[in-house]
Amino acid sequence: MKILKPNDLKRDSSLEKLILQARDAAYWHAYAPYSGFAVGAVARDKKGNIYRGANLENAAYGVVMCAEVGALTAANVQGAFDQLEAIAVVGFSFHPRVDCSQIVTPCGRCRQLIYEASELSKHIDVFACSGDLKQIEQWSIDEMLPRAFGPKTLGIVSPSSPAKAGMAPFDAKELASQY
């Protein structure tokens, strides 16, 4: 783990952009009426494309979607899940009182998802940040989730999707002829 200072962001504009966009995702797009805690996450692939997520709560607390899940899902839908190199996570309390001083790290479920993406892309840096950005920690996912359990543990080497397995694409005309 490496502790970053605000000046480190000034020297690395792509990292600064990643972290600021994660904070913006939390501020503008988090849906957190139950906890009053907003979290934003932005994943970046090796080509520099970004994928945003914000936490999405609901009255059935166990069905909450974490910001990291949103960012990883957005990357997956765009075909970049296996090309990720970094994810920034920023969070802060906004109700009943504002507190932007605490570092937010991915929960266990999110660490597992990030780890599985890193198995495909070979390495993902995780930037855990406080809402005021006065505290930023850089971790490799291997540091955050040592001795992780994943596909290799299970001996799984199968393709991760129908397309990667070589399955023929669906024919749009076939569906249209059925109706």
Question: What are the catalytic residues?
Answer: 68
Which amino acid is present at 91?
G
Return the structure tokens found at 122.
């070979």
> Of 129, 127, 126, 125, which is closest to residue 103 (Cα–Cα)?
129
Separation of alpha carbons 31 and 59, rounded Å? 11
> Of 90, 74, 93, 73, which is closest to residue 32 (Cα–Cα)?
93
Residue 52's beta-bridge partner residues?
42
Identify the helix (H) or strand (E) that includes residue 27: helix 13-29
Report how far Cα 150 is from the mean position of its chain's Cα atoms. Answer: 17
Find out whether 100 and 76 touch, Cβ atoms under 8 Å.
Answer: no
